[in-house]
């Protein structure tokens, strides 16, 4: 497993290709591959500049990226763009402050089809959790396999204090 900081941009094109492969396959098949590629690549440029940015990749024997995890330290004040507003609505500002601010935010976790079932996603999450005392992530509620996987690993769902949304918040056990 390889650890990256801002130097992740050195493999940005390769990582973007891997990202598109993961996040345009079921249950994300409704996403357009080229739009997904452009949006992720653009976002990656700013993500690597975030405080506490850290990423890990693991490669297959053939040298291709098999899986990846990216994230950073969640800053205060808590953002409201992207899915952050739904997080705030779902778990409330007190839990956001207590559980998420200052914790490592797993932004992207992906394992390519050829590496699924090898324990790679678990290893990536365990590595991030070992590096950071607290971590959290979001899962789309329609990604049933991912939701079941996080629950199986013991990641906890904070108490829902607001309206249900299409995202589920998980924090390290």
The DSSP string of 100-143 is ITTSEEEEEEEE-GGGTTSSHHHHHHHHHHHHSSSEEEEEETT-
Q: What is the pLDDT of residue 163?
A: 85
pTM of full prediction above 0.85 = yes
pLDDT tens for each residue of 132-154: 989 999 998 888 999 999 999 99
Domain of 17 in residue numbering reads as 2-171
Q: What total of structural domains would you count in the chain? A: 1
Q: Is the dihedral of CA 133, 69, 116, 148 positive or negative?
A: positive
**What's the CATH code of the domain at 155?**
3.40.630.30
pLDDT tens for each residue of 7-47: 999 999 999 999 999 989 888 888 999 999 999 999 999 99
Instruction: Give the mean pLDDT of 50-74.
Output: 96
pLDDT tens for each residue of 87-113: 999 899 999 999 999 999 999 999 999
């Amino acid at each position: 497993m390889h650890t990256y900081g801002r130097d992740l941009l050195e493999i940005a094109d390769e990582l973007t290709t891997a990202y598109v492969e993961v996040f345009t396959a079921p249950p994300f098949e409704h996403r357009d591959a080229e739009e997904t590629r452009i949006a992720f690549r653009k976002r990656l440029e700013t993500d690597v500049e975030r405080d506490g940015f850290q990423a890990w990749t693991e490669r297959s024997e053939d040298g291709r990226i098999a899986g990846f995890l990216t994230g950073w330290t969640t800053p205060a004040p808590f953002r409201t763009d992207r899915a952050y507003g739904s997080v705030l609505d779902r778990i409330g500002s007190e839990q956001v402050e207590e559980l998420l601010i200052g914790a490592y935010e797993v932004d992207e976790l992906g394992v390519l089809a050829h590496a699924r079932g090898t324990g790679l996603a678990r290893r990536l999450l365990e590595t991030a959790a070992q590096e950071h005392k607290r971590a959290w992530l979001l899962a789309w509620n329609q990604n049933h396999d991912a939701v079941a996987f996080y629950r199986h690993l013991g990641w906890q769902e904070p108490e829902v204090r607001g309206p249900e949304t299409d995202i589920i918040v998980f924090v390290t056990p």
